[in-house]
Structure 1
């Protein structure tokens, strides 16, 4: 049970710190408008998947952002190592958070349904 709380606490810490690192330390313009939406840490605290969202829906922008984040991964992991008080800094991987797009899709469907109900 205590391990579950530790994983959750570490996820929150990583999310807060990565947001701060992206704002203050990473100077790559490709990752300027990235928002960290969540972090999943493995049970053994060795791996962390960091989910992000961007405002653009263009595939080219998504690819640029992913490339920028991949380039900044070692810097971000190093900074996390300095900022977090844990024995081993987890390996990090960035993935686009699809839930934002899915939510927009659901909202659009609801709008269409609502507009057809008026007639």
Structure 2
């Protein structure tokens, strides 16, 4: 699959999933509007897509959101399938993204090292 097309599909999935979450169409109470999609990786054969999420509510809120989103994955896939006309809609798998938390940890360590000088 062409890398440009993959990036376009990833962008469309990000747009549609973000809209569904923000508009409140995902009815699972574990998923709220503080959920942010941080990264999407679609398989070259378009059979699956991994979606990393984070939440401003912290690590526990992110874990709850991942469970809720995976529970609602079928609904989200069907909505994406209606709006993005493709032969097959990628199977979505939501994962927790710890990179933001790890970035804060590294930043704190750097700040502490600078202050200790």
**Any gaps of 5 or more consecutive residues in structure 2?**
none
How far apart, in 2, do the equivalents of 1:17 and 1:57 lie? 24
Paired residues, number? 115
**Structure 1 partner of 2:13:** 14
Rg larger for: 1
Deviates more, 1:20-29 or 1:75-84: 20-29
Output the CA distance in 1 between the equivalents of 2:62 and 2:16. 22
SS of the counterpart of 2:49? strand
1:38-63 deviation digits (Å, cap 9, x = unpaired): 1100111111000100123344x343
| Bigger proportion of residues as helix | 1
TM-score by length of 2: 0.90
Q: Which residue of 1 aligns with 2:36?
A: 35
Partner SS, residue 6 of structure 1: helix
Q: Name the counterpart of 2:3.
A: 4
**Which residue in the other structure is 1:56 paired with?**
57
Matches within 5 A, 1:70-89: 70-89=70-89
